[in-house]
Structure formats: C-alpha cells, structure tokens
Amino acid sequence: MADRLVYSPLRTALLISVLAVLSSVHGIGVNYGLVGDNLPKPSAVVDLYKSNNIDGMRIFNPNHDVLEALRRSNITLIVGVEHKDLQPLASDASAATNWVQTNIVPYSPSVSFRYVVVGNEVIPGDLAQYVFPAMQNIQTALDSAGLQVNVSTSVALSVLGSSYPPSAGAFTPEAQTYMKPIIQFLAGGGSPLLVNVYPYFAYRDNADQIALSYALFTSEGVVVTDGAYGYKNLFDAMLDATYAAMEKVGGKDVAVVVTESGWPSDGGFAANISNAHTYIQNLIDHVGEGTPRRPAPIEAYIFAMFNENQKEAGTERNFGLFYPDEQPVYPLSFV
C-alpha cells in the first residue's frame, strides 16, 4: 500500500463537498464491496454514504445486513444476484419468486431498489446461458409482486469483438448469441444495459498504443476521429463502441448505465494515487456531458467505496475511495 496522504479538515471537507456535487448533479453512485475482514459495519457505511451525500449504491448480492441498514436512507440501490443462483433461477420460476420474496419484498418500499443485476461479467462464459431466462423469471416475479424494479445484466467490454473505431463496435459471435435476445428484452421493457467500463485495464494492457492522457481524460484535443465524432478520452470511445454494438442487434433505444468504472491507487502498472485521483475527478466532471454518440447525462457508479483486503493481491485491493477506517484515499476537488 502506498503511503497515505496527510489530511487536513479542509481536504476532508473538499472530498465531502465533491461527492455531494457528483451524486446530486451527475447521477453518480459508488459500488459497495464486502470482500474484506476489516470493513465498517453496514450501518456505518450507510452513514458514510449519507454524510457525503452519495445517493446511489451498488451491492453484489442481497446482503440482508446491508439491506436493513439502507431502510429509509433514501439511497437508491442496485442489487446483484449471486452467480451460484443463476442456474436455479433460470430453470425454475418458483425459485425466482422465492428470491424476490426473500430479498426484495421484505425491504420495499423502505429500501429504494433501482435495478436487479442478473449476472456480473458472465457473458461470454459457462454461466452465460442462464442469464436471459433468469432475467425473465426475476422480472416476472418482481412484476407479480407489484414492484416497479427493472432487471438487467452487467457486462464487461470483453463482449465486444470490435471496438475501434467506436462506430465499428460489435459483439463477438459468442457474446451476440446471448446479448441479442437480452438487448431486445431490455428494449421491450425500457430497461438499460449495465456495463463495466475500465479505461485503466485497456491502458495497462496497451500502453504502447494508448496515451495515458487519453485514458485519464486529460488530452487537450481530439485523439480519435470517427466520422462526425471526435474522441478526447478512452471512456467515451469504449462506451460508444458499446452503443454501436447494441444498435446492430436492435438496441438503438436502449440506455446504458455504467455500473463500474475506477482506477487503482496502488498495486500495479500506472496504479498510483495521482492517476486514481485524476481519473475519478475527471469522470465526475465528465459524465454529465454524455458521449459524442449519445450526448446525454450518464448514470455511473464508481468502483469502489473501500479498499478490500481479501480480494486478489495487487490492483484489485486498491480501487477504493476510502480506507476501511473511513478516511479518504485521496481528496477530490473541482476546478
């Protein structure tokens, strides 16, 4: 772990004020992961969200302690389905009804559920076949319970076989087998596709071809020209490649929610506090503008709230905005 910065009350206040603005203006939330043995209690975490005016949270499974802590908090919630449950939920409608009755109904409406995420980065892969039928069953169960909660799935950009230039964005043949019916289902129900967008990994793996400034939103001019669109940052290019791929399978009117985006502050190539600070601050500033292809505000969730010490060693442990003692990893400020 890199040495912590020295904090003054002013710097802590800056972080609080920035998170207040980013949450209320741009629709940014923060992922709350629990893969650590030294994290604050859920009630303290909810208080930390509230004290910083972060009004959107994503959790990766329906942890009942977290759900209890969220009651009457006015924090909107994205909740995930655990991967071990995908097959039974796909094959048995009663299992989906039981899941909803156990994990959603007892907490609604005092918990403000926004989306249920059926599978995180499982397409393509061994579990991909279960995602769409599980989505259908969960949505039916939610509708039957009288709950106005949308169901989707969250994908990594490994679903794209082509992404450059962005207008050439297309799903891989394997991913398209699963993505096409899902996109059409989302279009029919007015639900968004949830996408994890990480310029950090694209830069790390292609640093000889991608400028750091392009990954960090700091390029002074257009770096990539694609027809009528000019790209100054990699985030927009990645997101527009996803839009282009969706349009090719009937998803022209399907919105995208960025369920994860972040930059590690330690543990690997280009992972340091300076780069993480720059990326997150610029992401905050940028999402209200949208992308060249779709210039409308983007709902996005920073990954993640805390550094989690039980994740794989390296960068995976160092994506947090906060240390487990609730101190900020770095201050954030607007120009």
User: How far is 5 from 228, CA to CA, in rounded Å?
Assistant: 43
Q: Phi/psi at 326 (nearest 5 deg)?
A: 75, 10
Active-site residue list: 121, 260
CA-closest candidate to residue 180, choices 230, 228, 249: 249
Query: What secondary structure, in 3-state letters, does the chain show?
Result: CCCCCCCCHHHHHHHHHHHHHHHHHHCEEEECCCCCCCCCCHHHHHHHHHHCCCCEEEECCCCHHHHHHHCCCCCEEEEEECHHHHHHHHHCHHHHHHHHHHHCHHHCCCCEEEEEEEEECCCCCCCHHHHHHHHHHHHHHHHHCCCCCEEEEEEEHHHEEECCCHHHCEECHHHHHHHHHHHHHHHHHCCCEEEECCHHHHHHHCCCCCCHHHHCCCCCCCCEEECCEEECCHHHHHHHHHHHHHHCCCCCCCCEEEEEECCCCCCCCCCCHHHHHHHHHHHHHHHHHCCCCCCCCCCEEECCCECCCCCCCCHHHCCCCECCCCCECCCCCCC
Give the distance, in angstroms, between the CA of residue 314 and the centroid of all CA atoms in the same chain: 20
